[in-house]
Amino acid sequence: MNSQFPIEKAIINLITSYKNQVTKKMRPLGLYPGQDLILLTLLKHGQVSQNKLVTELCVDHSTIAKSVRRMVSVDLVQTEKSTEDKRVTLVSLTKHGRDLATQVEKICVTSERAATSGLSTEEQRLFIEMIDHITKNLNK
């Protein structure tokens, strides 16, 4: 690469390209940023607390609360208070939300396949290992 900071350039290019491809496919679904991740988390785990969404997605509570309110208003999710602890709000998918979450999952699978096209299973494993290593280095 002809850049003074080739790792930085490669990471930014990768994130930008991947995000652009996914965003282009998600846009017709009418989701706000981050709602796709909430849908996928609920699809994977079923009913979860808002606090678990905060932890799983590494965002602050107010962001999750706002997203969940928006998603309730368009019938993607429903909320209820925990019977064990009334302070806990549980979130689950509606039928419409489950259908949309399934579409989001398909987009993610397609994007992963496109991103790794031409890479062997071993190359994919090494790539993930290297990215994890770089991430740990940056979080020290």
User: By residue range, what is the domain housing residue 75?
Assistant: 6-138
What tens digit of pLDDT does each residue of 111-124 get? 999 999 999 999 99
**1 found inside a domain:** no
Q: Which of 79, 84, 55 is nearest to 68 (CA)?
A: 79
Residue 131's nearest CA partner among 50, 10, 5, 6 is 10
Which CATH number does the domain housing residue 119 bear? Answer: 1.10.10.10
Does 72 map to a domain?
yes
In 3-state terms the chain splits into helix, strand, coil percentages (rounded to 5) of: 70, 10, 25
Q: Residues 19-50: pLDDT tens digits?
A: 898 988 999 999 988 899 999 999 999 999 99
Contacts of 22 (CB under 8 A, 6+ apart): 107, 108, 111
Residue with structure tokens 């979130």? 91
